[in-house]
Amino acid sequence: MPQQPANVSNTGPIGPHTIHRFTLSNGVTLLVQENHASPSVVVRGQLWAGAINDPIDLLGLSQFTATAITRGSQKHTFSEINELVEAVGADIYASAGRHLTLFGGKSLAEDFNFLVELLADVLLHPVFPPDELEKIQAQALIGLRELENSSRSQASKRFREQLFTPNHPYSRPANGTLETVPAISREAIASFYQTHYQPRQAIIVVVGDVVAKQTNDLFEQHLHTWQNEQVEDPAPIPFVAPVTGPSQEIHPMPGKSQSDMVLGFVGPARNAANFYPASVGNVILGQLGLGGRLGESVRETHGLAYYVQAGLGAGLGQGSWTVSAGVNGANVEKAIDLILTELRRFTQEPVSEQELSQTKSYMTGILPLQLARNEGIAGTLLHMERHNLGDDYIIRYPDIIKAVTATEILAAAQAYIAPENVTTAIAGDYNPTTP
């Protein structure tokens, strides 16, 4: 049942007093945030079906399946689906990541019933037409070939393969390979769908000009037949030990105008106790302004990089803490030296109070911008539910960020960043200096 009457005001911050929480009869968690100032409705959902479930010889199967469910149902062909959504200016989608399949759509409030009916139809009754599967496969192979020719993509791929052990699912490409995608059959897709497209622990978020109780009734009407026929717990996430000792892989790509590189370390999961200090520190290191400390040193002062940035890939499992840069092949070694110098400084001395204050203002200031549209609200609520952050997370977030100290950031940096054990991948027109 909802925690608040359906006519609750949305003038205050989003929290337990505005988020309506339901559990459908099949166990799906439904969250509804009414926003009557908007004429549209956004739906965002997730279920446990991702690349972590792909068989080793069928990498890309989860993404293939997610794409395929919208390519035809028992009621509508793919062409009919496109015509229906275009006629009312709506959209629907499904895509797969490491752990999850995400699905959803958007429509005007007056077409919300239609949107839910169509989403339920493709989720519950896909038919996987062979001609559409051939198109998906061809498109996937084109995309993979394009990635083969991207120095940035190749650097990221080889970094991931080094950082995570070969038997860890994070080391594998979620979108498959040129060898595995052609092996994906309709039978494999149907089997993956039957096994993993289950409502157990699924989440759906609705934001827009709707009434919460009516929204619950609508989803119950269309999803009550979706049951757990072959229940499987979400795939476990293997532990990743920190890398001991430096490693480097170079992928030569002659003729490229720049060389891309990724340097980094095993990072925290989203639920790690030091996630927030790491997150604030990451912005200082390589995101604030024109790229934080790294941008000021490598790009602005020395003019060596086309781009440079730090990234914290914290998710359901341990992620990576990385520095990415694109440079002229002749400047690779100089850029790496400068990056490592900044990483050493980051692990040896606290950040300044000025850096900390600016970063906190930036991080607390972007949240209201993210929540200015229904899409941002829905994405934030789904993230909150996925990571068990609590319905009051948006209210608490500014205080969480403001409470982070320079000492905590230094401790987080020292917990994950070890320049002497850096993992490095370089792809492009680069010839290393020989001693």
202-252: pLDDT as tens digits: 999 999 999 999 999 999 999 999 998 876 777 778 888 888 899 999 999
Say what the pLDDT of residue 12 is: 62
Say what the pLDDT of residue 285 is: 97
Tell me which DSSP letter residue 422 carries.
Answer: -
Say what the pLDDT of residue 241 is: 84
| CA–CA dist 295, 151 (Å, integer) | 20
C-alpha count within 13 angstroms, C-beta hemisphere, residue 213: 8
Is pLDDT of 365 > 50? yes
Tell me whether strands 203-208 and 29-34 are parallel, antiparallel or unpaired. parallel
Q: Which CATH architecture has domain 247-428?
A: 2-Layer Sandwich (3.30)
Is pLDDT of 7 > 90? no
Is pLDDT of 1 > 60? no
Say what the pLDDT of residue 233 is: 75
Burial zone of 236 (CB within 10 Å; 0-12 exposed, 13-18 middle, 19+ buried): exposed
Among the ranges given (117-126, 148-157, 221-230), the one the predictor scored with the smallest mean pLDDT: 221-230
Say what the pLDDT of residue 236 is: 78
Tell me what the mean pLDDT of segment 408-433 comes to. Answer: 95
Helices 275-286, 406-416: inter-axial angle, 10-degree rounding:
90
Tell me whether strands 259-266 and 247-252 are parallel, antiparallel or unpaired. unpaired
Assessment of whether the complete model's pTM goes beyond 0.95 = no
Is pLDDT of 10 > 50? no
Q: Where in the chain is the domain with CATH 3.30.830.10?
A: 19-223, 247-428
Task: Note the pLDDT tens digit of each residue in 249-287.
Answer: 999 999 999 999 999 999 999 999 999 999 999 999 999
Residue 268: φ, ψ to 5°: -80, 160
pLDDT category of residue 4 using cuts at 50, 70 and 90 = very low
CATH class held by domain 19-223: alpha beta
Say what the pLDDT of residue 433 is: 67
Average per-residue pLDDT in the chain? 93
Residue scoring higher pLDDT (166 or 295) = 295
β-sheet with 101-108: strand ranges across: 19-23, 29-34, 203-208, 40-47, 101-108, 91-96
Among the ranges given (82-86, 289-293, 304-308, 356-360), the one the predictor scored with the smallest mean pLDDT: 289-293
Contacting residues for 169 by C-beta, under 8 A, at least 6 apart: 51, 52, 54, 98, 235, 238
Is pLDDT of 435 > 70? no
pLDDT category of residue 375 using cuts at 50, 70 and 90 = very high
